[in-house]
Every structure is written in structure tokens, then in C-alpha cells.
Amino acid sequence: MSVNSKQDRYDLLNSQWNCECGALHSVPTRIVDIAAGALNHITDIMSELGLRGKILLLADKNTFLVAGAKVEGILYDGGLDVRSHVLEGRPVADEASVKDVTSLVDSDDVAIVSCGSGTITDLAKCAALEHDITHIAIATAPSMNGYASGIAAIMQGGLKTTLPVRPPIAVIADPSVLKKAPIEMIRAGIGDLLSKPVCNADWKLASLVKGEHFCSRPYELVKDLESLYMDGAKDLLSRKPETIAALTEALIFSGISMVIAGSSSPASGAEHLISHFIDMRAEADGAGHDLHGVQVGIASVATARLHERMLKRSYANVVPPDVDLLWKRGDEAIERVRKIFGPCSESIVSEYLKKRGSRESFASEVKWIVENIDAIRDGYSKYLTSSATMREALVDVGAKKSFAELGIGGESLRDVLELAFVIRGRYTILDLAFILGELDGWVDEMITSNGEI
Ligand SMILES: [Zn+2]
Ligand SMILES: [Zn+2]
């Protein structure tokens, strides 16, 4: 199946196919409706889906104002039994909020309609799964790629965890609503999407080193949309509806690319580990952090630089790394993570310990990497986009361009960049750079430039 046109993209909805990668892929989401006035389509969508009965509409104060009240009115006028719950203050996606939202659902509700961005959509996904009811997501900001994904990012005991949930059956987005989102949320949306080339290069790398299943369809699906929002990045500042719609479409289909992959791999690589590290450190310190996509955008350019640094280097006649020393340095990294995260750290480092494996398997993996480094680089490099092009998109939208602007510099930045590979089981360019002795030089360069990308 080729994914080239808009029609091809939409044909993937509500479908299942045997892919040339050998896997059976399926996309349960049936409807993606991105259009001016799309909110008015909700009653037709409800009847197309055969939904009649009680409906819970979930929003917060802001999203109720920009879209929720209108949707409530449309559903009511359409003869549907809708009741709205407007969450107080600034909602957070944690265990307590999941419990609260789940308890709002009545036993005879047939659907939950979420009206919001990341947090509200994720809370609704969890509640819909718990009650086994339909979920329809209404997007209110082009800020993240989770609208159509099958995971929810929930903070559990100080740890950011991604829970498997069901993707919404329909996602509705009206660009005239989305364009009113705070500009920082629009910047976050493009920042999150910028990571896709590096994520897919990392995923391919993991398939080569760790034998993970890889499929290029998720990459192609979002790549086809890249020019729509990258070339017009400046138009996002003036909130041009066509460009906002393109950005939203790319974000929604990035979520679908994860559903196709059956994991977050096509949308989360080394740059996401860096962002998760920043989030967890802020949580441990009781401090705030920037929007996910803003952090990811900066980290994506930084890791694209690391990729480029490693592609430039010749590994012909390279002296094989000292495995004893690497193992010791891995242990030191684990100790540093334990010190930083305290009681939470055991579940964090356990994933890394599994990834590293036994001393014996680690030694043979290092040996294999050194012997096959050119083939490995050839395998993953075709998925990359140049760091300069990625940086330009951040400049065009007036986004932050340095870790310093995120409030992270000096030794804190060293911790983030040197230790991000220890906090997850995901294999990325950070692991390869650690093995090949490239991590230190890249980290020093980032610190010297005060985190400027
Ligand atoms: Zn496939
Ligand atoms: Zn992301």
C-alpha cells in the first residue's frame, strides 16, 4: 500500500491490511474531520456511528469557552442527551485525575466527547477504556500528536508513563478554533512534529542493533505532510487557517502512525527521552517545565546534530571500545540517575538494565556494532532531515532555540544529555553515541554553546 496522497492517507482509517513489512496493521479510528465548521458535523458523526443515548462532554474552562459550549448546543439541538463537565483550574494528567474523570461517567453513557488538547484527550481516553464506551476527540490546539494515538501519558508516582488505551473513534478539528490557541501551543505542535525524522532514524537503528520490528509506513505517512507545515512555518505565526489545518492533520496522522506501528517508536526517540528527563527532573524538584513540544523541538535539533556528527566521522580502522570501561561508565550513569531521582529511580533504571543486558551480551553487541557501523549508518540515515532545516522551522515560528531558554544549563544540561539514555528501554542514537565515544564531545559542544541549537 502506498501512502502518497491525501486520499491514501484517509483510506487508512477504519482499515486493516497486511503490510510488506510482514505485519498486519490496523487503524480503528474511523473519522478524521478537519474543516472550517467541523464542529457542526458532530451530530451527523454521532448518527453515522449509531450513537444515541447519554453523552458526557469533558472540557476545562478555556476549552469550554472556545468549543465545548458550542458542541454542547449542537448536540442538544440534535436531540442528544448531553451533559457537560468543566474541569476546574488547569487539569493535569495524573492518576487522581484519571479516577475523577472516570467517576463522572454514568453506567448508561454511550460516549465521551473530549474537548481539549493533550491532558483532556488523555483523561477521556482512560475513562472511555475503563467504561468500554466510545470516545470522540475534539481538538482545540495544534500542540501535540496524541489526539488519535492509542496511548495516554499519565504521571504515576512521579513517573511519566504511557498507558495503552484505545484511539478515539473520531477526531474533529476546526482550524478556526485551533488558530485561536496560544501561540506557544502552536509552536509546541511544530516542535513535536520536527522530531519525526530523528525518531524514525532511531527506530530503524533499534531494529538494526536490537532486532526490533520496523516498518517505513509510519515515517512515510507523516513525511508526506512535512512540506505542508515546514514550508509554511512562518504562516503559523499569522495563524493562516490552511497552515494551521496542515499542522493539525500532520499531528493527528502522527498519532495514527503510532497506532500503525503498535508502539510510540515512530514518534518518540532520543529527543523524547531528553524531554521526559526534563519533565521528571522538574517533577522531582517540584518545579515547572515548558510545553512538551517546545522541549522536543529543541532536543530534536540537538539529536539531529549528534546524528550528523556521527555520520561525518570515519570509523575505518577504529580501535574497538574498551568494554570494561563502557560497562563501568554505564554503572556510573545508573548511580547518577539514582541520586537524582531517589525513590523513583529503581523503576527508571530497570528499563535501562534490560536494554543493556548481561555483560556477555553487551560485549558481543559492542563488537557487532563496531564491525557493522557503516551498514548501520546507511540503514538509518535516509530517515533524517538536516538539523539546519529543522532549526529554520523553529526560527520561522519564533520558537525557543536553546536549552538555556528552557532554564537548563551547565551541570543540569550535562545530566540531561548524558543520562537520558539511562531512563528508558528505548534504543536510540544516544546509546550508539555512548558506545562509540561520541556522547562526551557532543555534550561538551552543547554546554559550550549554552545549549544553543
Ligand atoms: Zn508495515
Ligand atoms: Zn511528542
Ligand nearest to the CA of 194: 2
Ligand nearest to the CA of 143: 2
Ligand nearest to the CA of 220: 1
168 C-alpha to ligand 1 centroid (Å): 22
25 C-alpha to ligand 1 centroid (Å): 7
160 C-alpha to ligand 1 centroid (Å): 28
Q: What is the mean pLDDT of residues 239-259?
A: 95
Q: What is the pLDDT of residues 107-116, one digit of tens each?
A: 999 999 999 9
Residues with Cβ within 8 Å of 358's Cβ and at least 6 positions away in sequence, in order, are none
Q: What is the mean pLDDT of residues 154-162?
A: 82
Ligand nearest to the CA of 25: 1
pLDDT at 4 over 80: no
Ligand nearest to the CA of 260: 1
215 C-alpha to ligand 1 centroid (Å): 4
Which residues on neighbouring strands pair with residue 17, listed in sequence order?
Answer: 25
pLDDT confidence of residue 95: 95
**pTM above threshold 0.85:** yes
Ligand nearest to the CA of 276: 2
21 C-alpha to ligand 1 centroid (Å): 4
Residues with Cβ within 8 Å of 116's Cβ and at least 6 positions away in sequence, in order, are 58, 59, 60, 63, 91, 138, 140
Q: What is the mean pLDDT of residues 397-408?
A: 96
Q: What is the pLDDT of residues 281-319, one digit of tens each?
A: 998 888 889 999 999 999 999 999 999 999 999 988 888
Q: What is the mean pLDDT of residues 253-260?
A: 97
Q: Out of 152-161, 198-207, 281-290, give the one with best mean pLDDT.
A: 198-207
Our CA dihedral for 299, 302, 308, 313, rounded to 10 degrees, sits at: -120
pLDDT at 226 over 90: no
Ligand nearest to the CA of 3: 1
293 C-alpha to ligand 2 centroid (Å): 6
- CA 97 – CA 309 distance, rounded (Å): 43
Read off the pLDDT band of 227 (50, 70, 90): confident
374 C-alpha to ligand 1 centroid (Å): 25
Q: What is the pLDDT of residues 178-199, one digit of tens each?
A: 999 999 999 999 999 999 999 9
Answer yes or no: are the C-beta atoms of 139 and 172 closer than 8 Å.
yes
92 C-alpha to ligand 1 centroid (Å): 34
Q: What is the pLDDT of residues 377-396, one digit of tens each?
A: 999 999 999 999 999 999 99
Segment 224-229 long-range contacts (CB within 8 Å, at least 24 positions apart): 224/3, 224/4, 224/9, 225/9, 225/249, 225/250, 225/253, 226/193, 226/196, 226/250, 226/385, 229/190, 229/193
pLDDT confidence of residue 317: 81
43 C-alpha to ligand 2 centroid (Å): 31
273 C-alpha to ligand 2 centroid (Å): 10
pLDDT confidence of residue 229: 81
138 C-alpha to ligand 2 centroid (Å): 19
Ligand nearest to the CA of 271: 2
- Of the candidates 229, 228, 203, 199, the one whose C-alpha atom is nearest the C-alpha of residue 304 is 199
145 C-alpha to ligand 2 centroid (Å): 6
- Of the candidates 72, 87, 67, 69, the one whose C-alpha atom is nearest the C-alpha of residue 127 is 87
> Helix %, strand %, coil % for the chain, to 5?
60, 15, 30
pLDDT confidence of residue 283: 84
Mean pLDDT taken over the chain: 95
Chain centroid, CA 167 distance in Å: 14
Q: What is the pLDDT of residues 12-68, one digit of tens each?
A: 999 999 999 999 999 999 999 999 999 999 999 999 999 999 999 999 999 999 999
378 C-alpha to ligand 1 centroid (Å): 20
Q: What is the mean pLDDT of residues 276-283?
A: 91
Ligand nearest to the CA of 17: 1
151 C-alpha to ligand 2 centroid (Å): 11
Q: What percent of the chain has a predicted confidence (pLDDT) above 70?
A: 99
Ligand nearest to the CA of 291: 2
431 C-alpha to ligand 1 centroid (Å): 25
pLDDT confidence of residue 318: 81
Ligand nearest to the CA of 22: 1
pLDDT confidence of residue 2: 47
292 C-alpha to ligand 2 centroid (Å): 7
pLDDT at 1 over 60: no
Ligand nearest to the CA of 257: 1
Q: Which amino acid is at 190?
A: I
Ligand nearest to the CA of 192: 2
